[in-house]
């Protein structure tokens, strides 16, 4: 236990009581567990299993993610092709609990580098609109690369502070995910460098940031919509405490019980002197379940409300000449009948931002005044009227689109 700060050891012993020895045994005596989640926008689980040299073991909370052993999947060409995401196993519970549906308007407010966003995108089947936001520029680049690899069509990437999103957009989202920056106690086993950052004061600072993010995130949920709060840390201040704080400030939110399944332990209201309903939040412990550890709370805004209407407005920039150049490119390059309707040259979803051509979701909210990195599916770039396709276009197309054309 010597590698861990004494204050951390003391507080985990106090919180876990008789469970503490098995917690320390898992943290110190066992290797981190690796996971892989299949990109069902590109390949089914049954198609993937015979083409991998790895051993996949199921996880209780998802059908499309597995514990993985064997070959290093990170350097495999299938990784570059976006067939899967390497993700810590307990992290895969989060998007399953938010459970976004095709056609909804969804916000991932702390999205980089995109593990959970890619999972949300698969569940939405490229229908509706998914706004993936992160305030930190360097991390947004990693997010954009991962979403490009994933081949999403309906994802908008913004780089904003939650307050500005709340001020500009208001309560329009069917579902919002806050996968909050945290003290990362659940990453200690796989990333021991994180241990050095930990102090009791760091936990308090993280809790203050989380309270602020949750406050603004709640303002973005439509009446009747859902909010998921998650972290990869164990401290009650950052978990049950953050949820208690929000519920005290927003009486129009309630905790929704999460379906019970093996490996999901209840949250503990007593740790924060909070309401009994906190037992309906979920903890995934490294000594009780596959993975490094997560906390997840599902909340709903209680008033009745209806869905956000279609808001997409065609680009204000004239597209005439450029549309013709894009049409010529499509005719020369693809089996046009297999091109997704969103990217069709005649379609109303084509929209120009600067010299970039995007296909934008019909549910895309008005993003005026916000710092937007990508407005949807980036199809390519114009140099005057000459069209150069983007890598994102190729990554988002099914392979038959190219067949007989190469
Ligand atoms: N959801 C990501 C995934 O699954 O790959 C991981 C998100 S990570 C736990 C937390 C993210 O919160 C970081 O990318 C960080 O840049 C971002 N962040 C930090 N401060 C923030 C703030 N005030 N508002 C929103 N996001 C913030």
Q: What percent of the chain has pLDDT over 70?
A: 95
> Residues 285, 265: contact at Cβ < 8 Å?
yes
Residues 6 or more apart whose Cβ sits within 8 Å of residue 199: 5, 7
Q: Cα(21)–Cα(19) distance, rounded to whole angstroms?
A: 6
Q: Is 110 in the pocket of ligand 1 (CB under 6 A)?
A: yes
Kindly state the average pLDDT of the residues 282-298. Answer: 97
Is the pLDDT confidence value at 315 over 60?
no
Give 332-341 pLDDT, tens digit per residue.
999 888 899 9
Q: Is 397 in the pocket of ligand 1 (CB under 6 A)?
A: no
> Residues 298, 258: contact at Cβ < 8 Å?
yes
Q: How confident is the model at residue 266 (pLDDT cuts 50, 70, 90)?
A: very high
Nearest-CA residue for ligand 1 atom 16 is: 136
Q: How confident is the model at residue 328 (pLDDT cuts 50, 70, 90)?
A: very high
Q: Is 139 in the pocket of ligand 1 (CB under 6 A)?
A: yes
Q: How far is the CA of 111 from the centre of ligand 1 (A)?
A: 6
Q: Tell me the pLDDT of the chain averaged across its residues.
A: 93
Residues 6 or more apart whose Cβ sits within 8 Å of residue 406: none
Kindly state the average pLDDT of the residues 191-209. Answer: 95
Q: What ranges make up the beta strands (E) of 205-349?
A: 221-231, 253-255, 265-266, 282-284, 294-301
Q: What are phi and psi of 136, to 5 degrees?
A: -100, 120
251 or 398, which is more confident: 251
74 closest CA partner among 29, 32, 36: 36
Q: How far is the CA of 112 from the centre of ligand 1 (A)?
A: 6
> Residues 325, 387: contact at Cβ < 8 Å?
yes
Kindly state the average pLDDT of the residues 379-390. Answer: 94
* Helices 20-29 and 6-16, axial angle in degrees (round to 10): 130
> Residues 174, 307: contact at Cβ < 8 Å?
yes
* 3-class secondary structure, 294: strand
235 closest CA partner among 261, 210, 260, 262: 210
Q: What are phi and psi of 309, to 5 degrees?
A: -75, 165
Q: How confident is the model at residue 314 (pLDDT cuts 50, 70, 90)?
A: very low
Residues in the chain: 406
Q: How confident is the model at residue 311 (pLDDT cuts 50, 70, 90)?
A: low
Active site residues: 232
pLDDT score of 405: 59
* 3-class secondary structure, 230: strand
Q: Is 164 in the pocket of ligand 1 (CB under 6 A)?
A: no
Q: How far is the CA of 166 from the centre of ligand 1 (A)?
A: 16
Q: How confident is the model at residue 312 (pLDDT cuts 50, 70, 90)?
A: low
Kindly state the average pLDDT of the residues 6-20. Answer: 97
Q: How far is the CA of 116 from the centre of ligand 1 (A)?
A: 11
Give 164-181 pLDDT, tens digit per residue.
999 999 999 999 999 999
Q: Cα(74)–Cα(297) distance, rounded to whole angstroms?
A: 30
Give the count of beta carbons closer than 10 Å to the beta carbon of residue 380: 21
pLDDT score of 204: 97
Q: How confident is the model at residue 364 (pLDDT cuts 50, 70, 90)?
A: confident
Q: Cα(310)–Cα(362) distance, rounded to whole angstroms?
A: 6
Q: Is 147 in the pocket of ligand 1 (CB under 6 A)?
A: no
Buried b (16+ CB within 10 A) or exposed e, 26-57: bbeeeeebbbbbbbbbbbeeeebeeebebebe
Q: Tell me the pairing of strands 155-158 and 129-133.
A: parallel
Nearest-CA residue for ligand 1 atom 9 is: 181
Ligand 1 pocket test, pick from 118, 134, 190 with the greatest ligand atom count within 8 Å of Cβ, gives: 134
pLDDT score of 404: 67
Q: Is 184 in the pocket of ligand 1 (CB under 6 A)?
A: no
Q: How confident is the model at residue 319 (pLDDT cuts 50, 70, 90)?
A: confident
Q: Which atom of ligand 1 is nearest to the CA of 180?
A: 10
Q: Is 88 in the pocket of ligand 1 (CB under 6 A)?
A: no
Kindly state the average pLDDT of the residues 14-37. Answer: 96
pLDDT score of 310: 56
- The CA angle 107-110-112, to the nearest 5 degrees, is 110
DSSP code for 33: P
Give 75-120 pLDDT, tens digit per residue.
999 999 999 999 999 999 999 999 999 999 999 999 999 999 999 9
pLDDT score of 2: 44
* 3-class secondary structure, 200: helix
Q: How far is the CA of 313 from the centre of ligand 1 (A)?
A: 30
Q: How confident is the model at residue 318 (pLDDT cuts 50, 70, 90)?
A: low
Nearest-CA residue for ligand 1 atom 1 is: 111
């Amino acid at each position: 236990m010597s590698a861990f700060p004494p204050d951390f050891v003391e507080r985990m012993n106090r919180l876990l009581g008789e469970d503490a020895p098995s917690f320390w045994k898992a943290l110190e005596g066992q290797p981190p567990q690796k996971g892989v989640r299949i990109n069902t926008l590109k390949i089914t689980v049954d198609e993937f299993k015979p083409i991998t040299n790895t051993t996949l073991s199921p996880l209780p909370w998802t059908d499309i993610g597995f514990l993985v052993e064997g070959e290093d999947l990170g350097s495999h060409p299938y990784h570059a092709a976006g067939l899967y995401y390497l993700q810590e196993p307990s992290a895969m519970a989060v998007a399953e609990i938010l459970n976004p549906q095709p056609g909804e308007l969804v916000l991932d407010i702390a999205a980089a580098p995109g593990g959970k966003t890619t999972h949300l995108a698969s569940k939405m089947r490229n229908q509706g609109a998914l706004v993936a936001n992160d305030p930190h520029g360097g991390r947004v680049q990693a997010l954009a690369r991962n979403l490009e690899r994933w081949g999403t069509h309906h994802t908008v990437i913004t780089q904003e502070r939650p307050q500005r999103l709340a001020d500009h957009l208001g309560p329009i989202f069917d579902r919002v995910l806050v996968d909050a920056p945290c003290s990362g106690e659940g990453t200690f086993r796989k990333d021991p460098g994180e241990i050095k950052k930990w102090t009791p004061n760091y936990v308090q600072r993280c809790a203050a940031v989380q309270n602020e993010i949750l406050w603004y995130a709640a303002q973005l949920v439509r009446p009747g919509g859902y909010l998921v709060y998650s972290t990869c840390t164990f401290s009650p201040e950052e978990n049950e405490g953050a949820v208690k704080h929000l519920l005290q400030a927003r009486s129009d939110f309630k905790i929704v019980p999460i379906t019970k399944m093996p490996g999901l332990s209840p949250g503990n209201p007593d740790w924060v002197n909070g309401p009994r309903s906190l037992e309906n939040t979920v903890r995934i412990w490294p000594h009780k379940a596959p993975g490094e550890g997560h906390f997840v709370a599902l909340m709903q805004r209680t008033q009745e409300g209806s869905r956000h209407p279609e808001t997409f407005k065609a680009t204000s920039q004239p597209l005439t000449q450029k549309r013709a150049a894009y049409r010529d490119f499509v005719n020369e390059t693809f089996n046009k009948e297999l091109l997704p309707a969103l990217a069709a040259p005649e379609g109303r979803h084509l929209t120009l931002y600067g010299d970039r051509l995007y296909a934008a979701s019909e549910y895309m909210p008005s993003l005026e005044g916000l710092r937007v990195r990508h407005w949807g599916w980036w199809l390519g770039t114009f140099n005057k009227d000459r069209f150069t396709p983007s890598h994102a276009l190729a990554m988002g197309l099914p392979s038959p689109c190219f067949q007989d054309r190469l």
